[in-house]
Structure formats: structure tokens, C-alpha cells
């Protein structure tokens, strides 16, 4: 997929395609170069609605597949603790971090990564605090000078306490 094609497609509201597009060459030494299509998306929540039988993560994975994204930095997931799961039908793996299970259900960040990419990359995203998660990987050409770090962050709002703002 060329960069031009990646930008030309329309995307749903709240999904920012043109902010984080990055190109990397050589997935493996014998493979052709390809572009990595990256997005950020404030999903508002990943907590399932009991009245709707479809999981919200499945809906998000379907949308990412529809618009051909490789990686999406997700914010405001509102999940508890750290989790990793796969939406196999759409081909995405989710890595999420949020407040501990006894805390409030707000903030939370994560990544949705195309599962086929994970076979080529050894590192996994790391949750630092419930509002920040990072993922560092070598940029597909295996040279230390080309390490890429992607950060998913959800900043505190104005009404949040000063302690939370300072932690962030």
C-alpha cells in the first residue's frame, strides 16, 4: 500500500490516519519494503455494553481492517489492569493498560496491532501508567539507528486532580 493510497481513503470520525504515518523498509532481508500505516483513535470505551452482544473490540478491529491500518494507538479505553487478547476474525491483537481492578474505570490506553506484524516483531507494548503505553521496535531493517517508539497517551482533563496531572 502506498502512502498516497493510505491517505486517500476516508476514515470514521475520531480516527486520525494522517497524523502518524511512517514508512519502514525491509520487513525481513528478503522481503520487499512496505509502509506501516499507523493511526490514533480515542475509542471512548472498550467496556462491553450488556445490551449489545457484539464486543466493542471486535467493532474496532473490523474498522481498522476496513481502512487497512497496521497499528492503532487507542486512548480512553477504560479497561482495568493490563490485558492482551486477539480479535482473530479481523486479525488484530490488542494490548491494553488501565487503572488497577479496584480503581475507577476511566482513562486507559493501548494498541491494536495487526497480528501478522507480531510474527515479525519480537517486542510487545509496555504499559507505564494507566495513561501511558509505549512500544519500541526496530524499524524492520534491524539497525539500532532506526528504532521506532510509538506512544499511546491519554492526558488528564482540566477537572482531574493535581496528583493525577503530576503523575502524568
Q: Which pLDDT tens digit goes with each residue over 35-56?
A: 788 999 999 899 877 766 578 9
Write the pLDDT tens digit of every residue in 1-39: 333 344 444 455 555 443 333 344 433 444 445 678 899
Write the pLDDT tens digit of every residue in 106-130: 789 999 999 998 877 778 899 998 8
Tell me, rounded to whole angstroms, the distance of Cα 47 from its chain centroid: 16
What's the rounded Cα separation, in Å, for the pair 36 and 51?
A: 36
Please state, rounded to an integer, the average pLDDT across all residues of the chain.
78
Closest of 125, 139, 15 to residue 67, by C-alpha = 15
Predicted local confidence at residue 15, as pLDDT: 54
- 64: confidence class by pLDDT, cuts 50, 70, 90: very high
Predicted local confidence at residue 59, as pLDDT: 93
Which of 10-14, 51-55, 145-149, 158-162 has the largest mean confidence? 158-162
The residue-averaged pLDDT of 141-148 equals: 66
- Torsion angle in degrees (nearest 10) through CA of 135, 17, 156, 106: -80
Per-domain residue ranges for the chain?
3-167
Which residues, in sequence order, are bridge partners of residue 24? Answer: 34
Amino acid at each position: 500500500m502506498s502512502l498516497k493510497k493510505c491517505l486517500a481513503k476516508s476514515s470514521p470520525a475520531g480516527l486520525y490516519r494522517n497524523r502518524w504515518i511512517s514508512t519502514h523498509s525491509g520487513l525481513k532481508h528478503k522481503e520487499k519494503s512496505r509502509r506501516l500505516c499507523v493511526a490514533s483513535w480515542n475509542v471512548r470505551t472498550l467496556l462491553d455494553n450488556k445490551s449489545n452482544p457484539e464486543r466493542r473490540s471486535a467493532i474496532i478491529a473490523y474498522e481498522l481492517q476496513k481502512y487497512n491500518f497496521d497499528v492503532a494507538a487507542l486512548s480512553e479505553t477504560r479497561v482495568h489492569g493490563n490485558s492482551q487478547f486477539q480479535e482473530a476474525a479481523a486479525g488484530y491483537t490488542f494490548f491494553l493498560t488501565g487503572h488497577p481492578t479496584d480503581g475507577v474505570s476511566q482513562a486507559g490506553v493501548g494498541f491494536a496491532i495487526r497480528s501478522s506484524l507480531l510474527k515479525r516483531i519480537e517486542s510487545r507494548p509496555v504499559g507505564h501508567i494507566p495513561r501511558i503505553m509505549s512500544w519500541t521496535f526496530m524499524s524492520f531493517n534491524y539497525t539500532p539507528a532506526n528504532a521506532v517508539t510509538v506512544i499511546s497517551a491519554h492526558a488528564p482533563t482540566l477537572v482531574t486532580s493535581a496528583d493525577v496531572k503530576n503523575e502524568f
